[in-house]
Amino acid sequence: MIYLDNAATTKPCGEAVNAVREAMNGCFGNASSLHKIGTLSMQTISRAKMTALGAVSGTKTPFDGEVIFTSGATESNNTAILGAAERCRNRKRIVTTAIEHPSVAKTMEILEKRGFEVVRLAPRDYKNHAEFEDAICNAVDENTFLVSAMAVNNETGYFIDTARLYKEIKSRFRDVCVHIDAVQGFLKVQLCGDLISVSGHKIHSPKGIGALFIKKGVRIPPLLAGGGQQGGLRSGTEPVELIAGFCAAIEAYHGERERFSELKDYLLEKLSEIPDIKLNSDVECVPNIVNFSVRGVRSEIMLHSLEEDEIYVSSGSACSKGKKSGVLGALGVSDKDADCAVRVSFCAENTKDEIDSLVKKIGETVERVRR
């Protein structure tokens, strides 16, 4: 099997699997219980929090704030955005992008129905990534209480420098809350924000676990009412096994940028031998996600053809499941090219041999279909 769909999800690493097994056997207590078994679980959670806080910024400086564990980034994004809206203090404007994941985009639609003004900016209207970041900053005004932007787009790897964005926004409007959906950027790029959402299953942890980082001084209400776990911010008995797996996956993560760049360069070199391929991920995109259109071959046809040889890629975003997401359009890809888009996303274990097999099969499929 050749798995090249790591932006959809990743295979849990051995360290995470072991940590889950060990926690299930030896650390099954309720973290709220006052006895020794409960304390053991609480210690596991505290350790995982330290690990997550130390890792999220992508620099040597740990995140200055707290972290809550959630069921995944969908919950983290909902908690962040709906929470910020509850604390908006009569301001009504939100600035976001037109390339957000549905867990942000649909939450914005809910807020729009509640009377908020949502401004969505599309990268296709700007020359480069820096200009796009500037446009986001320039769209913020006195009536704005929230900026929500993804660090790395899941369909093409489009990258936003969140450190630069954060600094610029804060220099002009200190009390605007900056939320970053960092699912595809976590452990891969530097991150900065008041609220940062991440997900375990994109970094070789089990599914069903994610986190929301909350900067010191930022106050949001909980999404869920309940027993008041995690400082009242996320009720529900903590899934200590998943938290242990998430922590182990963070510690074991080794997706170095240089390695991804090497794989991307090799893929692009090989693809250049096939006529009429259009690249949808520009040079400023992160190197672990490569989106391209194989003109004349619809995505589903290509996907299923590759599947015959047990090669797994995506037609764009796995979350859109065949539905046109509109994200590629907002990134400047024509409808025709979007219909033929293929997303290849790497993990550190992928090899050049796997890319050879992928490109060979793409070439064969092109010949068969275009004939």
Q: Kindly state whether residue 183 participates in binding ligand PMP, applying the rule CB under 6 A.
A: yes
Please give the order of strands across the beta sheet that includes 277-279.
277-279, 289-294, 341-345
Binding to ligand PMP in span 82-101, by CB under 6 A: 101
319 in catalytic set: yes
> Backbone phi, then psi, for 270, in 5-degree steps?
-65, -40
CB neighbour list of residue 138: distance below 8 Å, 6 or more residues apart: none
Whose Cβ is closer to ligand PMP: residue 330's or residue 362's?
A: 330
From 35-43, 48-56, 178-186, 336-344, span contacting ligand PMP (CB under 6 A): 178-186
Mask 146-165, x = binds ligand PMP (CB under 6 A)?
----x---x-----------
Binding to ligand PMP in span 295-334, by CB under 6 A: 319
Whose Cβ is closer to ligand PMP: residue 148's or residue 365's?
A: 148
Shortest separation between residue 115's beta carbon and ligand PMP, angstroms? 25
Closest CA to 157 of 300, 16, 341: 341
Shortest separation between residue 75's beta carbon and ligand PMP, angstroms? 7
* E-only strand ranges, the chain: 2-3, 65-70, 93-97, 117-121, 144-150, 177-181, 195-199, 210-215, 277-279, 289-294, 311-312, 341-345
Contact 191/49 with Cβ under 8 angstroms? no
Q: Kindly state whether residue 6 participates in binding ligand PMP, applying the rule CB under 6 A.
A: no
Residue with the closest Cβ to ligand PMP? Answer: 72
Distance between CA 59 and CA 268 in Å, rounded? 30
Q: Kindly state whether residue 210 participates in binding ligand PMP, applying the rule CB under 6 A.
A: yes
Contact 75/200 with Cβ under 8 angstroms? no
Q: Kindly state whether residue 72 participates in binding ligand PMP, applying the rule CB under 6 A.
A: yes
Buried b (16+ CB within 10 A) or exposed e, 284-307: ebbbbbbbbbbbebebebbbebbe
- DSSP-derived 3-state class of residue 172: helix
Whose Cβ is closer to ligand PMP: residue 103's or residue 293's?
A: 103
From 66-74, 80-88, 277-285, 335-343, span contacting ligand PMP (CB under 6 A): 66-74
In this structure, what token pair is assigned to residue 133? 């970041």
Q: Kindly state whether residue 365 participates in binding ligand PMP, applying the rule CB under 6 A.
A: no
Q: Kindly state whether residue 191 participates in binding ligand PMP, applying the rule CB under 6 A.
A: no
Active-site residue numbers? 319
User: Rule CB under 6 A: which residues touch ligand PMP?
Assistant: 72-74, 101, 103, 150, 154, 181, 183-184, 199, 210, 319
